Each structure stands twice: as C-alpha cells, then as structure tokens.
Amino acid sequence: MLNLPIPYSTQEITPDDISAVTKILKSTFLTQGPAISALEESFATYTESNHCVAVANGTAALHLGILSLGVAAGEKVITSPLTFAASANCILYAGARVIFCDIDKETGLMDLEILQELIDLHPDCKGVIPVNYAGMSVNTEKIRKIIGKNRFILEDACHSPGGYFIDSKSDKVKSGSNKYADAAIFSFHAVKNITTAEGGAAALSLPPPFDNAEVHRTLKSHCLHGQSKDAASKFNSTDKNPWRYDVTHPGFKCNMTDIQAAMGRVALDRYPADLTYRIQLADRYDHLLSGQPSMDLPQRKSADGTSADHLYIIQLKAGLAVHRDALMQALSDQGISTNVHFPPLPLLTAYADRGFAAKDCPEAIKTYDAAISLPIHRHMSLEDVDRVVGALTSAIAKLTDQQAS
C-alpha cells in the first residue's frame, strides 16, 4: 500500500465549516456583522476572560494588546526569544524597547529566575509578554509575584487554547483567563489548534480602574480606523441619519470578517473533541519514543499544568543535534514533513541589526539547534504516528551506524 504524505500540520475543514460559511455568504453581512460578536462572546466564555476582541490575525491582537496596556515609545517590555517574530515586533510597533528573557530548557517557557534578574536590572520595565510554547502555559501567577501589580502581563497564548497551569490554590488557570494576566492574545492561523484561516483574538482581563467593556469598545474601534460605528451598528440604527459616523482617533484596519467568525464558532464548538484527539496523538508519540537514548521528549504535563499539544517537539541529544537537518531530510524523503520552532529572534536580521546576539539567550539557541517538530494534527491517524516514529528511529539508527563505522 502506498504511503500518503504526512504534512507537519494541516487545517481541519468539515461540512459544518462549509455550511457556516455558506450561511454567511447568503446573509446580509460578510464583514462587521453579528457573527463577530457571537464569536467574541463564545471565546471569552471559553477562555474565562472578561471580554474578547476578534481581529484579522494574532499579530493584530498583539498590537492592540500593547495599545490597550498603554505602552509608549522608549518604554521597556520583556518577552521570550524563542517565539515567532510577532511577539517582539508588536513592542517595536509601539516604539518601545525589546528585552529578551532566556528560556527554561525543560519547558521552552520564560525562565522566571532570569525574569527576576531582568526586573531588578530594569526597574522601569513596563511589562512582560510571556510566550506559551508548543502548548504549555506560563505560570502567570508566579510572573505576577515577580513583576508586581504595576507592570502588565500580556500572555501570548497562540499555542495554548485549552491549556492551563495550576496555581498556588490548586486551581486550573486556563490560557487567557482573567485571574492573573491583564490580557491574552490568540492566533487562529491555518495551522493553529483553532483556525479561521487567518484571524486572532485579544482576551481582556484588565484590573480596576480599567473598564474592560470600555477598553473592548475602544479596541473594536481601533480595528476600523477609529470609527464610532461598524456596519452592523449603522444598519441597525434607528437614528434619522444612520450613515453618519465619527473617527475618534487614528486607528487601524484589522477587523475579522463574518466569514472567519463563522468558521471560528464551528471550530470552537468542536475543539474539546479535537483537543482530546491531539492528546491521543501526543500520548502515542510519548509511548513509542519513551526511553529513546537519542532524544528528550517534550514536557507536556507537570506539577504546574497541562499542554494544549499544539506542537510535538523532540530535542536531539548531544552528538546527534548536529545532524538535525539531515534527519529532517531523511523524513522528508519518506513523505513526512517536519518543522523547527523557532529560530530565536536574535538570530534574525531584524533583531541582529538592533544589537541582539546569540549570547543573549544561550538556552534558546541550544533548544533551537536540537529541535524537530514532528507532525501532529487532526488528519493524522495513530498509525501515522507509528510511521513517523518508525522513519525517525530508522534514520537515527543509520546515522549512528555511520558514526560508529
């Protein structure tokens, strides 16, 4: 039997998605309509946050999050170097200064001891953007204790909807929850656990004296160039001249469409079942790869919490890590796609040109050099996991034999 290619990730589109999109295409609103609010309310409930703003993508959510937290030019914000560029780019959008906090090698999450050192070194730091890596959630309670009440926490939760950590009260704190972070952002990109093709959300949990409802209205306006009304408001208005509107501030254009929102509602409804299946796939990897002397497996569960299993990233051990690219090619030759998450930001030109270097984040560099993201997605079967593991272990055995001869 011919083995079909196994992509490293792919989206799940069901008849329900198609039906929901078709319904929007036949409705009054393709964008700026009621489907947006419906998704926002559902996602706020799911994340246990106060309010949610649906936007064009996760990057826009980060940008709006930075705005809502009042970051100004010249101020300092700490984030992780082991992430996609958007996590730090949003700081630059505000004209602020990026400070990288290296990672804990066991989790890929921000190293909280280093965070404490950075807060001591930069007492004028405005806040922190911790990044949830591969599905594991940062412990925002511990971060809050380190940074105090007067600095913000903007949780980059793009990898972790449905993931959680356990706080000191033994409560499960979901990614995006209103318990310790001020806001959290999510991506609904095509390869994320929940997809709207492109899209994202900012979940608001701002403490007093902030008014979350008012901040929500402001950010909704930010998405539409600062307009005082969206299309649905104009359409449903009983004013004599419903077309009239104001632009209250120079906003942006980063709203989500009703087409995307309809997909998001369907994806969110089925997400508990999808997440259960991702866990089964990751458990299968754990079972088959456990005890392999050539690699370390991802930390998916700990006393601190449980992963949303967005990615399954193995770490090759010393002596084999230098052959990482060759192993990935060997898998590719058998129709199995893999990936690497992520090139640490100081290695990228945009940040190297700003004076950042590999020496600033040695653990992130080591993690990157040894990392392979194996396929994990809803279209995989458990037998596909067996095939990936078989191809991987066979390729490792061949390399080991070549080194020994």
- Angle subtended at Cα 144 by Cα 141 and Cα 148, rounded to the nearest 5 degrees: 155
pLDDT digits (tens, 9 = 90+) for 228-267: 888 777 777 777 788 888 999 899 999 999 999 999 999 9
Phi then psi for residue 306, to 5 deg, are -135, 140
Share of the chain above pLDDT 70, in %: 99
272-404 homologous superfamily: Aspartate Aminotransferase, domain 1 (3.90.1150.10)
- What is the enclosing helix (H) or strand (E) of 97? strand 97-100
pLDDT digits (tens, 9 = 90+) for 362-402: 999 999 999 999 999 999 999 999 999 999 999 999 988 77
Residue 219 backbone zone (phi > 0: left; psi -120 to 50: alpha; other: beta): alpha
Q: Would you state the structure tokens that stand for residue 259, as one six-digit string?
A: 């087409």
Q: What interhelical angle do 382-404 and 258-289 show, nearest 10?
A: 50
Rounded mean pLDDT of the chain? 94
**Count of Cβ atoms closer than 10 Å to residue 168 Cβ:** 9
In a 3-state reduction of DSSP, which class is residue 164? strand
Strand order in the sheet with 97-100: 51-55, 200-204, 183-187, 152-156, 127-129, 76-79, 97-100
- Angle subtended at Cα 272 by Cα 256 and Cα 171, rounded to the nearest 5 degrees: 100
pLDDT digits (tens, 9 = 90+) for 323-365: 999 999 999 999 999 999 999 999 999 999 999 999 999 999 9
- What is the enclosing helix (H) or strand (E) of 54? strand 51-55
- Angle subtended at Cα 195 by Cα 190 and Cα 196, rounded to the nearest 5 degrees: 95
**Count of Cβ atoms closer than 10 Å to residue 153 Cβ:** 21
pLDDT digits (tens, 9 = 90+) for 97-132: 999 999 999 999 999 999 999 999 999 999 999 999
Least confident of 87-91, 131-135, 216-220, 279-283: 216-220
What's the whole-model pTM score? 0.95
* pLDDT value, residue 405: 63
In this prediction, residue 210 has a pLDDT band, given cuts at 50, 70 and 90, of: confident
In eight-state DSSP terms, residue 198 is: S
Q: Is the peptide bond before 342 cis (omega within 30 degrees of 0)?
A: yes
Q: Which of 192, 188, 193 is nearest to 203 (CA)?
A: 188
- The domain ranges of the chain are 15-265, 272-404
- Burial of residue 146, with CB atoms counted within 10 A of its CB: 0-12 exposed, 13-18 middle, 19 or more buried: middle
| Residue 330, CA distances (Å) to 119, 325, 336, 403 in order | 44, 9, 9, 16
* pLDDT value, residue 194: 97
CATH of 15-265 given 2.160.20.60, 3.40.50.970, 3.30.360.10, 3.40.640.10: 3.40.640.10
| Residue 259, CA distances (Å) to 57, 220, 365 in order | 14, 17, 40
Q: Would you state the structure tokens that stand for residue 227, as one six-digit string?
A: 């307009």
